[in-house]
């Protein structure tokens, strides 16, 4: 059955029949959800550190804009961790202390159409980040470890040190069709023998280099538009 998470007005528990079960907290709904379930999140700011398990989808309540549905955390752990084939879509995700807002640690998790106001950290597997807006992070998207992440059709802007970082010989992401712009630091940095593909992105208006390849890195770069970066293009 569909799982609906809402605020303090709801009682924790399940209703009889085929209607969605209603839970008092988002964490309770995610804990109860099973493979194939969907958790609908009601409007408001939810203070939680979520682990979205394999086969679970967490999304805004149908019809609610992502700006109205906020997940925020205050601890050392990421706000949202996806494992397996988990899906999170249509939410605003923040971390009050500036730690990673989203951790894509293994499997093929999907983060789609979310507004993320801290780092998305990809450390393993083949996750997908698509149609998202990532802002106000020290590093917008950080790909390391054995991650073969895909970052596609997203906007990464107004970040501090760098918008996108790829590091390590086993990090081989696909960075395709994104707008990477207006950061206080650089656009895309590929370092420490990092590889992967950087394809058809718009990289502009950053205070440092549009792209920086260093430390024996060897990415494939095709069809990018790199312009107006104060530290140079490539």
Burial (Cβ within 10 Å: 0-12, 13-18, ≥19) of residue 56: buried
Distance from C-alpha of 88 to C-alpha of 122, rounded to nearest angstrom:
15
pLDDT bin (cut points 50, 70, 90) of residue 21 is confident
Length of the chain: 234
Question: 207 in helix, strand or coil?
Answer: coil
Mean pLDDT score, 52-58: 95
Q: Is residue 17 scored above 60 in pLDDT? A: no
**What is the model's pTM?**
0.91
DSSP letter assigned to residue 85: T
The count of other CB atoms within 10 Å of the CB of residue 58 is 26
**Element (H or E) spanning 170, and its range?**
none
The count of other CB atoms within 10 Å of the CB of residue 188 is 29
Instruction: Supply the pLDDT for residue 232.
Output: 86
Instruction: Supply the pLDDT for residue 98.
Output: 78
Q: Is residue 6 scored above 50 in pLDDT? A: no
Instruction: Supply the pLDDT for residue 19.
Output: 66
Mean pLDDT score, 24-34: 90
Contact 78, 98 (CB under 8 A): no
Instruction: Supply the pLDDT for residue 18.
Output: 52
Q: What pLDDT digit, counting tens, does each position of 61-89 carry?
A: 999 999 999 999 988 899 999 999 999 99
Q: What pLDDT digit, counting tens, does each position of 168-217 carry?
A: 999 999 999 999 999 999 999 999 999 999 999 999 999 999 999 999 99
Contact 199, 173 (CB under 8 A): no
Q: b/e per residue, 162-187, with b = 16+ CB within 10 A?
A: bbbbbbbeebbbbbbebbbbbbebbb
- Backbone torsion region of residue 135, taken as left when φ is above 0, otherwise alpha when ψ lies between -120 and 50, otherwise beta: beta
Q: Is residue 149 scored above 70 in pLDDT? A: yes
* Average pLDDT along the chain: 90
Half-sphere exposure of residue 194: CA atoms within 13 angstroms, side-chain side: 29
Structure-model confidence comparison of residues 225 and 8, the more confident one: 225
Structure-model confidence comparison of residues 5 and 30, the more confident one: 30
Contact 116, 99 (CB under 8 A): no
Contact 199, 174 (CB under 8 A): yes
Contact 178, 204 (CB under 8 A): no
């Amino acid at each position: 059955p569909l799982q609906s998470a809402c605020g303090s007005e709801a009682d924790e528990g399940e209703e009889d029949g085929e209607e969605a079960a209603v839970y008092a907290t988002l964490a309770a709904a995610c804990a109860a959800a099973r493979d194939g379930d969907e958790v609908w999140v009601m409007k408001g700011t939810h203070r939680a550190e979520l682990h979205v398990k394999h086969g679970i989808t967490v999304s805004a309540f149908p019809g609610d804009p992502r700006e109205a549905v906020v997940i925020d955390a205050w601890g050392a752990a990421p706000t949202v961790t996806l494992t397996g084939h988990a899906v999170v879509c249509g939410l605003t995700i923040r971390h009050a202390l500036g730690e990673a807002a989203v951790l894509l640690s293994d499997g093929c998790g999907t983060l789609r159409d979310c507004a993320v106001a801290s780092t998305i950290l990809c450390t393993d597997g083949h996750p997908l980040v698509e149609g998202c807006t990532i802002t106000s992070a020290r590093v917008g998207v950080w790909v390391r470890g054995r991650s073969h992440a895909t970052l596609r059709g997203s906007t990464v802007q107004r970040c501090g040190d760098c918008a996108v970082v790829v590091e390590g010989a086993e990090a081989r992401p696909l960075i395709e069709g994104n707008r990477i712009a207006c950061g206080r630091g650089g656009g895309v940095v590929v370092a420490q023998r990092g590889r992967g593909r950087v394809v058809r992105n718009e990289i502009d208006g950053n205070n440092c280099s549009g792209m920086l390849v260093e430390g024996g890195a060897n990415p494939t770069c095709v069809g990018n538009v790199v312009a107006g970066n104060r530290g140079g293009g490539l």
